[in-house]
Structure 1
Amino acid sequence: MTAHAAEPTPVVPPMPERNPKALRAAIAQHAPQLLPNFDEHWKWAVADAYDISTVPAFMARWWGEFAIARDPKLDAHMANLHHRAAESTDIAEAKALLEEASHIRHEVQRLEPGQ
């Protein structure tokens, strides 16, 4: 009988430095599917607006998006929560599923660079 090697667990990349340039580079490398929306949002919210006061809100949103997308298991779990909530006919169940997703989004905001 031949032993099969276990599927390697994907390594979750660390969070980058907390600035737009480092976050964009991390997205480009580890979650490139997010890059078009990141760039479009940057152009609309910061560059074309000539308003750097929007950078903290921009960073908060994309910090969380990357934190979830960089981890395939967490990304799949979030997608599952949203799918199940959308399909649920029980309002209490849908609310609980969305509250769990919201809790995860709040938790990933606490991640620090390197985590």
Structure 2
Amino acid sequence: MMVRGIRGATTVERNEETEILQAAAELLQEIVARNGIRTEEIASVWVTSTHDLTAAFPAKAIRQMPGWELVPVMCSLEIPVEPSLPKCIRVMAHVNTDKKQDEIRHVYLNNAVSLRPDIAKAGTSS
């Protein structure tokens, strides 16, 4: 068994707590679903958001998900490189798995699809 990183990103339309929390939860739920992960297989989750999202910590949504209370979650600011995708939440989930690197399904939702068009072309993202 190895620890693999699973990447994901999404965007929101507004800097509002409810929208940020819903988007973060949706992203992580999609990562879990596409990769067939059980919560106890997750070693940790790192969440970043762009500087224009100040209404909520996206990691809060993950900590509130049933069964996720014991998963270590960290939240920080994304490096503000121009031009960066605005109102963006990124996730790196570290997962204990027997899957090979090419079996991992990274997830990009909403406007974040533009971050990894190579993955979108491969059919592993939406």
TM-score computed with the length of structure 1 as normaliser: 0.30
Higher RCO (CA < 8 A, seq sep 6+): 2
Q: Where is the helix percentage greater, Structure 1 or Structure 2?
A: 1
Output the TM-score relative to the length of structure 2: 0.28
Please tell me whether Structure 1 or Structure 2 has the larger radius of gyration of its CA atoms.
1
